[in-house]
Amino acid sequence: MKIVSLLPSATEIVCALGLEDHLVAVTHECDFPISISHLPAITASRISHETMTSKEIDHAVRSHLDGHGSIYDLDTKLLEELKPDIILTQELCDVCAVSYETVNIAAKIYAADATVISLEPNTIDGIFENILTVGELTNAAEKANSVVKDLRTRLGRVKEKASATENGPRVFMLEWLEPPFSPGHWVPEQVEIAGGKCLLGSAGKPSVTTSFDAINDSKPDVIVLIPCGHYISDTLRQLGNTEFPSNWREIPAVMNGEVWAVDATNYFSRPGPRVVDGVEILAKIFHPQIFGTPSELEAVRVNRDLIRFS
């Protein structure tokens, strides 16, 4: 059985199920577990995120998609050479991966015998269902059930401990710096399970653009920076290129030093097993007296000097 993964989250699911040896190609963004780093990348990005500001990246993405193009390339020659049995992809977001339409067309032409599986989670339960689905289709159902059971146990443990607190913090999860995006999909659930009250976002709904004024008006006690696809270092670098309104100085989270940068790529952007790690990290931010403080690899408290105001 040969598997091509067109999603970092799908790669993580395959490996969690003990099927790593069946992977024959992954995306240019797949970096976990480290043991898959030798596999060929079957995708490439047309946008150089490393050298652009948040605003420039947003403009480039919108320009590509508005022109009915794509921000990713798919190596169809490699696809034809590999002759995979299974291709794991998604229809949820053209910004996150090669479009489903592109994958379907390429599969028919270059890998006619492959089964194309689209993973479409919008919630944490949806992520767990995807794990079970991949397990069923790869003869690893027993392992998939075990993985999901363990993940649910960990979530239940956090929820039970967090529910012992009377008042959870009001939390805004900033999914993009400029323009600002409110949280969507599974992120509001991550906040609620960790004992926070999610502001300006709805579970199972897409993340949408909001305004700095709306965020200010919501008066969050905690702001967590989770720009999609960014690591902590990326977010801290982007802060230097982002200017927030002067009235943000009066936001409780800013005044009290409760602005945090976390590893969005691994724990919040990807709908895979590690969303549970994300919940555990948030619990440490919201309730350190119960869960302990997060390590610097998990979350970094943003020094107010790093936040630029207009």
pLDDT band at 63 (very low <50, low <70, confident <90, very high): low
Both 126 and 25 in a single domain? yes
pLDDT at res. 96 = 62
pLDDT at res. 225 = 98
pLDDT at res. 64 = 57
| Lowest mean per-residue pLDDT among 45-54, 167-176, 285-294 | 45-54
Last residue of a domain, one of 144, 176, 203: 144
Q: Is residue 188 part of a domain?
A: yes
Read off the pLDDT of residues 232-284 as tens digits, 9 standing for 90 and up. 999 999 998 899 999 999 999 999 999 999 999 999 999 999 999 999 999 99
Encoded amino acid at 204, one letter = G
pLDDT at res. 165 = 86
DSSP state of 208: -
For 68, the domain range is 3-144
Both 26 and 96 in a single domain? yes
Read off the pLDDT of residues 2-28 as tens digits, 9 standing for 90 and up. 999 999 999 999 999 999 999 999 999
pLDDT band at 66 (very low <50, low <70, confident <90, very high): low
For 276-305, what is the mean pLDDT? 96
State how far the Cα of 144 lies from the Cα of 126, in Å rounded to an integer.
14
Q: Is residue 151 part of a domain?
A: no
Total domains in the fold of the chain: 2
The CATH number that applies at residue 43 is 3.40.50.1980
Both 121 and 193 in a single domain? no
Both 111 and 170 in a single domain? no
What CA–CA distances, in Å, run from 225 to 39, 220, 269, 296?
31, 13, 12, 14
- Which residues make Cβ contacts (< 8 Å) with residue 303, sequence separation at least 6? none
State how far the Cα of 259 lies from the Cα of 304, in Å rounded to an integer.
8
Both 127 and 195 in a single domain? no
Read off the pLDDT of residues 70-125 as tens digits, 9 standing for 90 and up. 678 899 999 999 999 999 998 766 556 677 677 777 878 778 889 999 898 999 99
33, pLDDT greater than 90: yes
Read off the pLDDT of residues 169-185 as tens digits, 9 standing for 90 and up. 999 999 999 999 999 99
For 203-216, what is the mean pLDDT? 95
Q: How many CB atoms lie within 10 A of CB 139?
A: 11
Q: How many CB atoms lie within 10 A of CB 128?
A: 22
Both 303 and 170 in a single domain? yes
Both 110 and 47 in a single domain? yes
Percent of the residues in the chain that have a pLDDT greater than 90, as a whole number: 77
Pair 36, 30: CB distance under 8 Å: yes
Both 24 and 140 in a single domain? yes
pLDDT at res. 37 = 95
Q: Is residue 149 part of a domain?
A: no
Both 302 and 195 in a single domain? yes
Pair 144, 132: CB distance under 8 Å: yes
Q: Is residue 136 part of a domain?
A: yes
Pair 129, 280: CB distance under 8 Å: no
Which tokens belong to 198? 């999610």
For 293-300, what is the mean pLDDT? 96
pTM beyond 0.95: the answer is no
Both 223 and 265 in a single domain? yes
For 138-144, what is the mean pLDDT? 97
Pair 10, 134: CB distance under 8 Å: yes
